Amino acid sequence: MTNNLRVQQISTDISILVTFDAPAQGAGGLAWDGARLWLADFVAKELLSLDPATMATQHRLPSHGTPAGLAWDGHRLWQSVFGAGAAVGFDPESGQVRGRAVLPEDRGPVRIAGLAWDGAYLWCGSQQDGLLYAIDVRQETAIRTLSTLAPLGGLAWDGDSLWVGGATGLHWDGQSWVRTEDRRYTLLK
């Protein structure tokens, strides 16, 4: 498949290691499960596992609704269901659902854009209202909600802090988060 979507592997010193054509019509979220790279295709509504050595597609699984963010919790691959306010955890080998968390819909269905696993909680970022949810995957419920004041995109956990990307960033002034009008990534500790 030839398209203009690309996936890049970037080293910690910020040099591009490899670039390849994304084997997807609508490349979205990425997750690493320790052996494979997972890619969400929001157009074909499927999840692809890629061999990191060859970047060849190993297998495809149907997604659960329109996929956006992906995260690996050590046992399950989690996929956000865009527009449904839910994240689905499943066995990556069989595709069988092994967990589901539905977010509160006080303002209508939540459009989850990003997911991240911090070792204890699954974090979900809302694209429409800037809310960040901490999900206890054992209870399959949100246990904490934070307002970031900005629409959220991708999320990442670096082992110590949660990184949040969005169209409008935030700045910590020493006492509170302050909204800024530029595009930046925010580090939450």
pLDDT along the chain (189 residues), means of 10: 52 65 82 90 91 88 90 94 86 90 71 88 83 88 80 78 65 50 48
Give exposure, 171-188, as e/b (b: 16+ Cβ within 10 Å): eeeeeebeeeeeeeebee
Please tell me the predicted confidence (pLDDT) of residue 183: 47
Please tell me the predicted confidence (pLDDT) of residue 62: 93
The residue type at 137: V
Please tell me the predicted confidence (pLDDT) of residue 73: 94
Please tell me the predicted confidence (pLDDT) of residue 158: 80
What does pTM read for this prediction? 0.78
